[in-house]
Amino acid sequence: MILISRLRVFTTVLSFLVSSNTFSHGGGLDTNGGHNNRKIGAYHCHRDYCKPRGINNKVAFKEAGYNRKNWRHWIDNDKDCQNTRAEILIAASLENVSYRNGKTCSVYSGKWYDPYSDKVWTLASDVDIDHIVPLAWAYAHGASDWSSERKAKFANDSENLIAVKDNINQAKGAKGPEQWLPPNYSFRCEYVNSFQRVVERYGLVYTTSEEVLVKHYIKRCAAL
């Protein structure tokens, strides 16, 4: 029985490593290759061909009490006219950036390497600042009772922010590592480790299945 249990764990972890966006399992999937997780009000894809549908993540989280407006982000703490987004774009650019309208407030262009896609982008309008641990995910994993100040700190924490292609960030949405990983396989270990560091830093809590899978993934990455 112990050998069978270990084999099942290994099989689950292996599936996590090779899947393009999530884990597969043997039952409970619809014909689209996914299922509704009514606990958090989200539709999960479990097959590569799966198309997100059913419950809308943004609507579901809002119905459960999440409201993005309560997470004040892209603020200008030092009052230099550059908000958090602009500061991340400036810091992450591989060359000097240019600004809109001759002012240094809004970034227009630069050179950004996106580790999610393994590509370089030059227009700021093509780049989003992704929350590695999404705001809605944090809300559903222990942050629902945070103060406005703590929510704002989390939403603007540079340790949780990364410049990536906008459409990839949008495809990720509010998903955690159990549901989504960067398309660039070579960055997945670093991504999960970064996710884990933020979770620990803010005292967020995984579900049991998330914790098992993330810890196995980190352990596997450490052995590579």
pLDDT tens-digit profile of 33-72? 666 655 444 555 555 445 544 444 555 565 578 999 999 9
pLDDT tens-digit profile of 123-175? 999 999 999 999 999 999 999 999 999 999 999 999 999 999 999 999 999 99
Indicate the pTM of the whole model: 0.75
221 near 193, Cβ under 8 Å?
yes
The ranges assigned to domains in the chain are 2-222
Q: Which residue has the higher pLDDT, 218 or 58?
A: 218
Judged on CB neighbours under 10 Å (0-12, 13-18, 19+), 146 is middle
Best mean pLDDT range from 12-26, 43-57, 75-89: 75-89
- Given a cut of 60, is residue 75 above it in pLDDT? yes
